[in-house]
Amino acid sequence: MKVVLRNPRRELEIPGPLRVRSLLERLGINRESVLVMREDTLVTDDALLDDDDRVEVRPVISGGGG
């Protein structure tokens, strides 16, 4: 699958099928710090990603109001 990472932006090819949690473990990414998108859909930890999927890993951005 094609995995697009942000901050810094880079693209990786990772063989699937693979669950989201396993992908993040393999990449050494803390699940609490990112959103994982397949196409334009947010996916959960237990979603199975296929070899032909395009996945984007986006950092969670929090902001304060005030």
Q: Band the pLDDT of 61: cuts 50, 70, 90.
A: confident
Rounded Cα–Cα distance for residues 1 and 52 (Å): 5
Predicted structure pTM score: 0.85
pLDDT tens for residues 29-56?
999 999 999 988 999 999 999 999 999 9
Domains of the chain and any CATH numbers:
2-59 (3.10.20.30)
Query: Do the strands 54-59 and 2-5 form a parallel or antiparallel pair, or are they unpaired?
Result: parallel
Tell me: pLDDT of 63 over 70.
Answer: no
The region that residue 28 occupies, defined by phi over 0 for left and psi between -120 and 50 for alpha, beta otherwise, is left
